[in-house]
Amino acid sequence: MNFEFFIAKRIIGSKAYKSSISAPIIKIGITAIAIGMIVMMVAIATGIGLQQKIRDKVVAFNGHVTITKYDSNSSQESGLPISKNQEFYPEFKSVDGISHIQAVASKFGVIRTETDFEGVYLKGVGSDYNWDYFKEFIKEGRLPDYSKKRNEEVLISSYLANRLHFKLGDTFQMVFAKDDPEKLPNIIKYNIVGIYNSGFQDFDASYLIGDIRHIQRINNWEDDQIGSFEVFLNDYNEIEKKGVEIYQNTPSTLNTQTITDKYYSIFEWIKIFDKNIYGIIGIMILVAGINMITALLVLILERTQMIGILKALGSNNWSIRKLFIYNASYLILLGLFWGNLLGLSLLLAQKYFKLFPLDPSVYYVTEAPVYISFGYILALNLGTLILCLLMLLIPSYIITKISPVKAIRFD
């Protein structure tokens, strides 16, 4: 057996060690490691979780890349129509990594009731629409079916339903103005078959989901004309690269835009989370390291006589330093164990019981989302252990300054 490890194990297991003067300081060091680990795990899990949740919600309403007609229209309403008869539709075979492409259009209208009115965009979708993202948003009712004949089924957000006092199964009229002000507007009676809540209030307050064929009829478009294409990617991390490839593989009359460009301020804001996470990790490791340095120095001072005896028996400085580093490693691992146990318990409780709500008008989500991955937990534990041990090498150098003669007489 390793000599230094054997001595360290005997020290840790002794009753005197647990009731020594250094015991409270050791407990503080273990607690600091545990608290640091909990804070770092929560920071990473909620930071990455919030980034992914906000990103997924933006993707649900826009796709990863949008293909539109080149024009000066900067509003959310579809301007010049695009023909669906494109080489890249319904399958974008010229670019790898594309999971789906769908045709959509949007039209601004006013919902009119006996007591209220609200201006919103009707987002028209068809039988090719990917509902996977919206399934988790549905709070009441069902998804509409646009695979058959044109119908008046719509999805409305909880936000709009509450503002307009609507409930599932209600009907309402929506007024669409014509480009020619002298012509009478179009009025369509819609039926609410589903109520959704994405938690992204900017979108929930602006969009209804309805049949694209209504917009085609209102705009006098042909059956093969739509407002834009929404492209979904297999890997979000390749969005910039794939955005360029999609642009290069579409006709010159069409423009492409990634969601990171379209919603630049949102994605720049969530990038700040990365800096916050790095800052929290750095501070927590520094605090934990300082506490362990203090505990190690106290351990060394408390065992000064033992150090002198070991030196007198022929142990070299590095051997004795290893002994105390083994001792400190045990304390770090103990702190990591409790930190992981409590941290994971807290994250799992938040994931399944939604203990901590957030203001959707600020954070775009109704509760703090968490992302739990074995990879980052393992990296966090290894990184903390290694950095703390490296920090302990410097204070352990004090052992080289201890004289055997003076240490044996030390009281």
- pLDDT tens track of the chain, all 411 residues? 577 777 777 777 665 555 666 678 888 888 999 999 999 999 999 999 999 999 999 999 999 999 999 875 667 788 889 999 999 998 999 999 999 999 999 999 999 888 888 999 999 999 999 998 888 899 999 999 998 899 999 999 999 999 999 999 999 999 998 877 778 889 999 999 999 998 888 899 999 999 999 999 999 999 999 999 999 999 999 999 999 999 999 998 999 999 999 999 999 999 898 899 999 999 999 998 888 888 888 888 887 788 788 888 888 888 888 888 888 888 899 999 999 999 999 999 999 998 888 887 778 888 889 999 999 999 999 999 999 988 888 888 887 777 776 666 655
Q: What is the pLDDT of residue 100?
A: 95
Angle between helices 374-393 and 264-302 (to 10 degrees): 40
Distance CA 300, CA 149 (A): 82
**Reduced DSSP (H G I as helix, E B as strand, rest coil) percent helix, strand, coil of the chain, to 5:** 50, 20, 30
CA atoms within 13 A on the CB side of 353: 7
| Degrees, nearest 5: CA angle 39-43-45 | 115
Q: What is the pLDDT of residue 89?
A: 93
* pTM of this structure: 0.83
Q: What is the pLDDT of residue 310?
A: 81
C-alpha to C-alpha distances, 58 to 106, 203, 328, 365, 409, nearest whole angstrom:
16, 9, 47, 12, 71
Phi-psi region at 77: left, alpha or beta (left = phi > 0; alpha = psi -120 to 50): beta
Distance CA 354, CA 337 (A): 25
What burial class does residue 331 get, using C-beta atoms within 10 Å of its C-beta: 0-12 exposed, 13-18 middle, 19+ buried?
A: buried
Q: What is the pLDDT of residue 6?
A: 76
Domain boundaries, the chain: 3-56+267-408, 71-252
- Chain centroid offset of residue 144 CA: 29
- Decide the pairing of beta strands 98-112 and 171-176: antiparallel
Q: What is the pLDDT of residue 77?
A: 85
Q: Coil, helix or strand for 156?
A: strand
| In the block, residue with structure tokens 């987002």 | 123
